[in-house]
Structure 1
C-alpha cells in the first residue's frame, strides 16, 4: 500500500483504491501519474477535501483475484489500525481492483469481521465480464507457439499470450481462448462458454454473498449509458498481414452469428481458422476502450497484434482498428450480462443495476481513464457521506 503523501503514517478519512490488471508488480509512480496529472487531479482533489488516499498495489497483478483479495483485506486492516479518529473507510479500485476489493469486503463480512467501510467504489470494473477479441487472443497464442523462442524477441512475442492465459485474465474475460493449436480441418472454435477459472471465481464470489452488504455501492463507467457505441463495425478486417512469415493472416472484428473471425497463417503451413458462434458484435459496444500502451506506440488490443506481426515480418501489418471495447458499460455498472446484443447497445437500465448509484461517461473513452466528469462525480458522492 502507498499513501498519497510519502511522509504520511496515519490517516483520518481513508480512501483505499486498488490497482487493476496487468502483468508484473504494480507501479505506484505510474498509477499516481494517471490519477493526478491527467485530465483531472483526482488525488489532490480528494486530499483538499479531507480524504487520505491509499493506493493498493500487488506483487503480481495477473495473479488470482482471490489471492490478491487477501492483500486487500490486510490493507483494510492496516488502514483501520493506522487511522486517527472514527471516520469510516471508502474502499474500491480500478478495473480488476474493483473486483478484488468487492470480494475482499464481502469475504470479511462472511467471516463476521468488521471492515468499517461505508462506501464501496468501482471504476470501470468488469462486474459482468470483460472482452478481448477472440481473434486477438488466438493470434497471441499463435505467435508464442511459433516464434516465442526467437532469440532476443521471444519474451516480447510471448508476453501477450502469457497475459491472456494468466489466472486473473481467465477470471475477468467472459470468453477466453487458451490456445491456437488448431488446423485447417480442426479450427479453433469458440462459442458461448467461459473458462473454468471464471466459473470458479463467480462461485467463490457467490459463496461470500456476491457483494458486500454494509457499504453504499458506487461505480463509474468509461462508456456511455445511452447505448451509443464507438462506431467500430462488425465483421470487418482489423489487422491484415501480407508479410513473408504471416502473409494471409487476418484478424476481424467480432460479428454476431457464426463467423471465421481470424485466419492464422505461417509460411509453409496450412492456415488455422478461428471460428466463433453465439457471440454478440461486441467490439463496437458502449464501454471503456482497451487501454493503449504508451511505451509500445500506443498499441491497444488489435494494435498489439499488428505490432507483433510487424516484428515477425519485419514490415508493418495493415491496422484498421487499434482498440475495441474492453469493459462494456452494462458490465461496469452491473446492470446486465454482456452476452445479449440488444442489452449491450441499449440505454442502461438503472433499476437493474446491483449498484446503489453510478455514473457513465458522456462519450466512450479509454478504460480507467480519470476524467473530470467521473472524478468530480466521485468526489461529490464521497462528500455526501
Structure 2
C-alpha cells in the first residue's frame, strides 16, 4: 500500500492536544505494517517501518500464502501498465491556505532529493520540506485508487481552511502488488503489464485486473463476475 509521504508527515501538524485522528491512522500498527514506505514522526525519516519488516519475515517463515486453499486475487487497477492518465509526476496535487499558507503537495516523481511536499503551519510555526530519493512514480501508477488528497482537502475546508485540489485520487494498491506478481520499488516493475501473464508467475492461483481504474476494494461487476465464474472452474 502507498500513501504519499508528504501527507503522512502533514498529519502530525494537524491541531489538537492529543494526536489528531488522521495522525493516529498514519502511525497505527496497521499502517506501519502495510505501507511500503512510512514517515517516522520521531526521526522524520522515510523508510520501511520495523513492524513491516517483522511482518514480512513472519510471512516468509510460514510460507507466505496458505498452501491448501485456492488463492484468487483481483485488482481495482488496470493490468496493461496504464495508470491514472491525469496524474503525472511532479505536479501540484493540493495546495492549502489560511492556517497552512503555501503548504503544497506534489505527485511523486522519480529521482533523488525530489520535493513531494512543502509544509507550513502558522501556529505553532513550523516549516518543513519533505523529499524522497529512489521512489518510482507511485501516485499515478496502475492500481486501485484512494481519494487521499480529496479526504485531506475536505478535512481542511471543514476546519475553516482553504484548499486548491488538483488531483483528488492517487494509486493506493498497485496492480502488480494486488495480484502478487512483482514488488514496486522499481519504475519498470510498478508499470509492468501483467495482463496475460501465466498465473505461475504470481503467488496466487489466478488473478484478474480491472479494465478501468477503480477505487480500491470497489466490488465492480467486472471483478465480481470473474470471481463468481471461478466457482465453476
Residue in structure 1 matched with residue 22 of structure 2 by the alignment? 160
Report the CA distance between 1:310 and its aligned residue. 2.6
Return the alpha-carbon distance in structure 2 between the equivalents of residues 223 and 135 of structure 1.
23
Q: What secondary structure sits across from 1:169 in the alignment?
A: helix
Residue in structure 1 matched with residue 215 of structure 2 by the alignment? 366
1:328 aligns with 2:174: yes
More strand by share: 2
Q: What secondary structure sits across from 1:216 in the alignment?
A: coil
User: What runs of 5+ residues in structure 2 fail to find an aligned partner?
Assistant: none
Structure having greater relative contact order (Cα 8 Å, sep ≥ 6): 2
Q: What secondary structure sits across from 2:129 in the alignment?
A: strand
| 1:11-59 CA distance string (max 9 Å, x none) | xxxxxxxxxxxxxxxxxxxxxxxxxxxxxxxxxxxxxxxxxxxxxxxxx
| 1:59-92 CA distance string (max 9 Å, x none) | xxxxxxxxxxxxxxxxxxxxxxxxxxxxxxxxxx
More helix by share: 1
1:200 aligns with 2:47: no
Q: What secondary structure sits across from 2:23 in the alignment?
A: helix
Return the alpha-carbon distance in structure 2 between the equivalents of residues 189 and 274 of structure 1.
9
TM-score in terms of structure 1 length: 0.56
Give the number of aligned pairs.
227
Residue in structure 2 matched with residue 272 of structure 1 by the alignment? 128
CA RMSD of aligned residues (A): 1.8
Return the alpha-carbon distance in structure 1 between the equivalents of residues 119 and 154 of structure 2.
15
Return the alpha-carbon distance in structure 2 between the equivalents of residues 357 and 270 of structure 1.
49
Query: Larger deviation: 206-215 or 367-376?
Result: 206-215
Residue in structure 2 matched with residue 260 of structure 1 by the alignment? 115
| 1:90-144 CA distance string (max 9 Å, x none) | xxxxxxxxxxxxxxxxxxxxxxxxxxxxxxxxxxxxxxxx11111111111221x
Q: What secondary structure sits across from 1:343 in the alignment?
A: helix
Report if aligned partners of 2:39, 2:45 keep a CA contact under 8 Å in 1: no
In the TM superposition, 1:1-385 aligns within 5 A as 130-143=1-14, 147-149=15-17, 158-179=20-41, 188-190=44-46, 193-231=47-85, 232-243=87-98, 245-258=99-112, 259-267=114-122, 269-290=125-146, 300-312=147-159, 314-348=160-194, 349-350=197-198, 351-384=200-233
Report the CA distance between 1:236 and its aligned residue. 1.1
Structure 1 residue ranges, 4+ long, deviating more than 4 angstroms after superposition: none
- TM-aligned CA distance change 1:204 to 1:266, over 3 Å: same
Q: What secondary structure sits across from 2:71 in the alignment?
A: strand
Return the alpha-carbon distance in structure 1 between the equivalents of residues 62 and 16 of structure 2.
40
Report the CA distance between 1:266 and its aligned residue. 1.3
| 1:214-233 CA distance string (max 9 Å, x none) | 22211111111100111211
Report the CA distance between 1:315 and its aligned residue. 3.4
TM-score in terms of structure 2 length: 0.91
Residue in structure 2 matched with residue 7 of structure 1 by the alignment? none
Report if aligned partners of 2:116, 2:132 keep a CA contact under 8 Å in 1: yes
Report if aligned partners of 1:227, 1:286 keep a CA contact under 8 Å in 2: yes
Q: Which protein shows a greater Rg?
A: 1
